């Protein structure tokens, strides 16, 4: 069954109402349980209310900030959505909860983490959401998979491409490219 969020959009499209679609770059990460299944579940959940256009390969990464935890699997996805940034955040958090995400420790272990990295060329600053993602330029685990599928996407504040920001990090260690997720 589709999320209730998606149904009104489908009905409007069927009636010929034009909807504005936005390109969104996501970062996904997991280090608990069946990590590949968690990523597949997250993509399936996202697919209930947006159109996933492209996904990156999966990378195994060492934890950043809080290092006393298991390695992560990280990937990126580009999607199209008609949802507002705020509605999209709410829908993402619903997917995370369905997959078992419990927010206990900042930068700690998690079943799934889905971040909105870029939302078109928009900048958004609210109490709940900051886009572009504030830490994207320092995170190889975000930039490496993102560069695989969206290397020419321009950051709306620093006017650098994803590929340029990755190059700015210098040599990247502690990331191992794994097999892409099976469809």
The catalytic residues are 101, 110, 113, 115
User: Which residues are CB-neighbours of 4 under 8 A, at least 6 positions away?
Assistant: none
Q: Which two tokens stand for residue 144?
A: 């490496």
Tell me if residue 89 falls in helix, strand or coil: helix
Torsion angle of the four alpha carbons 112, 96, 8, 18, in this order, in degrees rounded to the nearest 10: -40
Q: Which two tokens stand for residue 156?
A: 């709306």
The DSSP code for 105 is S
**In contact, 49 and 3? CB cutoff 8 Å:** yes
Burial class of residue 19, CB neighbours in 10 A (0-12, 13-18, 19+): exposed
Q: DSSP E strands: which ranges in the chain?
A: 22-30, 51-55, 58-61, 72-81, 113-119, 124-125, 130-131, 175-178
Q: Which two tokens stand for residue 131?
A: 């886009």
């Amino acid at each position: 069954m589709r999320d209730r969020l998606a149904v009104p959009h489908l009905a409007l499209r069927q009636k010929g109402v034009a909807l504005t679609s936005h390109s969104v770059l996501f970062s996904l990460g997991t280090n608990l349980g069946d990590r590949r299944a968690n990523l597949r579940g997250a993509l399936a959940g996202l697919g209930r209310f947006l159109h996933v256009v492209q996904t990156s390969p999966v990378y195994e990464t060492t934890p950043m900030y809080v290092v006393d935890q298991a390695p992560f699997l990280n990937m990126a996805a580009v999607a199209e959505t008609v949802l507002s940034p705020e509605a999209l955040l709410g829908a993402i958090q619903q997917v995370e909860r369905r997959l078992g995400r419990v927010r206990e420790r900042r930068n700690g272990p998690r079943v799934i983490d889905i971040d909105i990295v870029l939302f078109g060329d928009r900048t958004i600053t609210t109490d709940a959401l900051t886009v572009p993602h504030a830490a994207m330029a320092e995170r190889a685990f975000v930039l490496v998979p993102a560069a695989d599928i969206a290397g020419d996407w321009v950051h709306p504040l620093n006017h650098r491409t994803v590929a340029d920001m990755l190059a700015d990090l210098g040599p990247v260690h502690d990331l191992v490219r794994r097999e892409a997720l099976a469809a």
